[in-house]
Amino acid sequence: MKLKVWLSSPHMGGNELKYINEAFDANWIAPLGPNVDGFEQDIEKFLSGRVKVAALSSGTAALHLALIECNVGHGDEVICQSMTFSASANPIAYQGATPVFIDSEKDTWNMCPDALQEAIIDRMAKGKKPKAIIVVHLYGMPAKMDEILSIAAEYDIPVIEDSAESLGSKYKGKACGTFGRFGILSFNGNKIITTSGGGALVCHSQEDKEKAVFLSTQARDNAPHYQHSHIGYNYRMSNISAGIGRGQMEVLADRVEGRRKMHDFYAEICKDMEGVELFSEPDSDFYSNHWLSVITIDETKALKTREDLRLAFLEEDIESRPIWKPMHLQPVFEDAPYYGGKVAETLFGNSLCLPSGTNLSDEDRERIAKVMIEVLSDKKEYSVSR
């Protein structure tokens, strides 16, 4: 019986248990401790910027706290990339605010600067200046940050980078997650590194980090008794989870290299396939970790559809998945404003996320290649070089 090939499964490095055992030996099990401090410092060093990092229970929690620190409240509007996972938009609703969704551009599949500017001008004309902009680096691909930051600065709107999928990606040599007022990281089980569940908020000042930590630990005032002057949240990362993260940080560079090699693997398979295009960097300004490798299939040229390939993979117990359904097409956000054209909608209809884990074996890759070639090509053989 063949083992299932997963889309993006956790890949341990070996030293995770060392940090976990140290936490048990010292009885540091609570949401604070040496692993939390060490994990935050490891991330700060990796990002190579003058940033401060707060380790939290999830990337969603980090985004929620970023919105709070940007003073987003009931009745406000927040601009958000439409092509993304729902966790990018849900925290806007947590705050009683309204998302304003923006279409993608074709080069990076991320927020279209032209549609962004159109949305800001129109919302302001309607008397609703957006309180923040949430831009996503989709599947690890950096957004066009120069243009987006320039527009945000023109209208004095803070930018929050959803870098949940892009740890290790860079735009013009600078780490994703360090461009906006805040950056969001995720360490969910399917991400490039994992703490089983967890995330982090990237800040540019100690003050912003301290506020995030305060809010994430139930906003307890400095008093001998339990006193609260603000609404708080149970969002801090545990010392055990952070121990997993410290072990994972030791292999992060290898994981980025491994994901990029998986992208190269798909590039080799797809290079002669009519109507099949691999999602890749538009030019040298963009450096993607290729968290997930994604292809688009033009059925008029390939004579096959995204669903033909997905179902063929399913028959062979290989996991693949359509890309994120745009938020402006989701029932829960059907009344939200939307600006742009049909780029995100078209991509959703013909694109597929491919197995991209760094722990796939040669046999796994040969199984993947065999299905793709049988469905999309006249070739019948493919051998993974060992």
pLDDT along the chain (386 residues), means of 10: 92 95 91 94 93 98 98 98 98 98 98 98 98 98 98 98 98 98 97 96 98 96 93 96 97 98 98 96 98 98 97 98 98 98 98 98 97 85 56
271 is catalytic: no
Tell me what pLDDT residue 386 has.
Answer: 41
Give yes or no on whether 15-250 and 252-376 have one common fold.
no
Tell me what pLDDT residue 72 has.
Answer: 98
Angle between helices 362-376 and 306-315 (to 10 degrees): 140
**Active-site hit among 52, 131, 144, 191:** 191
The pTM score is: 0.95
Tell me what pLDDT residue 377 has.
Answer: 87
Tell me what pLDDT residue 32 has.
Answer: 86
Q: Could you tell me the fold of the domain covering 15-250?
A: Aspartate Aminotransferase; domain 2 (3.40.640)
The first and second tokens of residue 373, run together, are 């070639």
- Sequence spans of domains, the chain: 15-250, 252-376
Compute the distance between CA of residue 11 and CA of residue 193 in angstroms, rounded to an integer: 7
The architecture in CATH of the region 252-376 reads Alpha-Beta Complex (3.90)
